[in-house]
Chains A and B, each alone.
Chain A
Amino acid sequence: NAGVTQTPKFRVLKTGQSMTLLCAQDMNHEYMYWYRQDPGMGLRLIHYSVGEGTTAKGEVPDGYNVSRLKKQNFLLGLESAAPSQTSVYFCASRGDNRFDQPQHFGDGTRLSIL
């Protein structure tokens, strides 16, 4: 089972460039999330989606946009990359809103902004 797949795995950008990170899940999950992880810190929520066509802001949404046009895909966009966005980005999915449902994570995208 593929689970949650993130592409690309690594990327280096120059300040001001734009790019899109792709997250795909094959578990038919309703909920999807984007987090970032910085050294010495826990993961922080950027945006999330509770179903196809829906998106909402998390803790640190500034500088990012998201889209969920298809249930299985959740895209994270950086319109104008800044060095402060250098981080490891993780996507996660969850089946539904029942209390016993865990989140399943991808392997991450390591992004460096020069």
Chain B
Amino acid sequence: KQEVTQIPAALSVPEGENLVLNCSFTDSAIYNLQWFRQDPGKGLTSLLLIQSSQREQTSGRLNASLDKSSGRSTLYIAASQPGDSATYLCAVPLSGGYNKLIFGAGTRLAVHP
């Protein structure tokens, strides 16, 4: 059964730091992995989607990598800003198709000035 784990559960850093959020999954037979951002009281915003044929995706200061063989993905945030404060969730598809997602519990990030 697929399980998704995110470490750390919470992270507090000063503004300007480069940081790495981790996501691990138990079944490597995935066709994509998606990273989301969730602000308090809001829905999820898709940040990056990495297909299984790709090793990484970049969007602005965000870079996500995928290593299927080890069951790991990382989200790298460069030069963090207070506006990056949010919960970051990763998700992979459940077996059986149709991109039914299973999520990690998230990493709650606080960037302080």
Contacts and interface: CB of A to CB of B under 8 A. Distances in A.
A102 B46 contact: yes
A25 B9 CA distance: 32
Interface of B: 4, 31-32, 34, 36, 41-46, 49, 51-52, 89, 91, 94, 97-106
Interface residues of A, number: 29
Contacts, number: 69
Given A103-B46, A107-B43, A45 B94 contact: yes
A97 B105 contact: no
Given A4-B43, A58-B100, 7 more contacts: A94-B99, A101-B99, A102-B46, A103-B101, A105-B36, A105-B45, A107-B42
A100 B32 contact: yes
B4 A42 contact: yes
Contacts of A99: 31-32, 51-52
A33 B32 contact: no
A99 B104 CA distance: 20
A2 interface: no
7 contacts: A42-B89, A42-B105, A92-B44, A103-B101, A104-B46, A105-B44, A106-B43
A50 B44 CA distance: 21
